[in-house]
Amino acid sequence: MTLRVGIIGGTGYTGAELLRILVRHPYAELTAITSRAEAGNSVAELFPNLRGVTDLRFSDPGNTDLDACQLVFSATPNGIAMTQAERLLRAGVRMIDLAADFRIRDRVTWERWYEMTHACPALLDEAVYGLPELNRKRIRAARLVANPGCYPTAVILGALPLIEKGVVNLDDIIADAKSGVSGAGRSAKLATLFSEAADNFKAYGVSGHRHYPEIMQVFREVAGSAPGLTFVPHLVPMIRGIHATLYFKALDTNHDLTQLFSDRYAREIFVDVMDPPGLPETRSVKGANTCRIAVHQHAGGRVVVLSVIDNLVKGAAGQAIQNMNIMFDLDEDAGLDRLALVP
């Protein structure tokens, strides 16, 4: 089959990754990509890595027939997809939002963290949280998928087996996470200028980060109650990658936790569980739709989980395409069989 696909807002890093993967996808035909600022310009002019691969041009969103698509990815800033979702769904177009508009089901919580009025609360309950390792069945039937955030993907996959089996104390979970600067987007910001981010390492969002309620929502649903979570993100001087170090207190030190993780993810082609004393590195997943995990148990009963992803692939565009493949009953790894780039 050939799947007609469109992208709303394809000029950022996430849009660039969608393009990079979709132009080589065996079942997808990219028919439209919108951008007000770049309308009329060649995609390959903005992204020279696509020269000779696509002759597609950016089009103005007001003059683009997205209704002809079977699926539309929204790779826009927060607050845009929620103004377009209802119309697209009415036209029979399925949608994957790579921003945060539909990730949190409680409108009040969403508006508090994102500091704007939600324009489409009627779809919050219908939207499916697009973490395939948790919601594959619901994703397959979904009209609207909320693609997870990058930090939540690494943190949730690193914690899920422990929470599902109830083998750790849920009152004291610590998620210490680091991200490369591409996670902040492509627009110019003081904190991500080369001279600010290079040779530097710092925490941010310590008192509260927008991905916190997203992680908590999933943990609450899996555990049946709200856990105690401390989540602190950091900016590190690299372009791609997330490394999440998760700390738990074991309730029973007799469990073989590596085996627990291996069993949980045995059928998950994009989750790799390392044997002890494995230490996953961000460069081992660069450019790949892979989450690599290792579990370490300390003598004092502390469990440490290391979880790494490429924030632009498994943390964004790759996971979105994985969701697309599931929604249309394609091979789940279609277009996503690329190995990581090393070094």
Would you please indicate which residues are annotated as catalytic (active-site) residues?
150
- Whether the CB-CB separation of 158 and 244 falls below 8 Å is answered with yes
Contact status, residue 155 vs residue 229, Cβ threshold 8 Å: no
> For residue 45, what are the contacts with CB-CB under 8 A and spacing of at least 6?
none
Contact of 306 with 10, CB cutoff 8 Å:
no
Ramachandran region of residue 293, left (φ > 0), alpha (ψ -120 to 50) or beta? beta
- The structure tokens listed for 215 are 């992680």
Place of tokens 């069993």: 263
Residue 150 token pair: 């990058």
Cis peptide before 213 (omega within 30 of 0): no
Peptide bond into 343 cis (omega under 30): yes
Smallest Cα–Cα separation from 47: which of 82, 91, 17?
A: 17
3-state secondary structure of 258: helix
Pairing of strands 144-146, 94-97: parallel
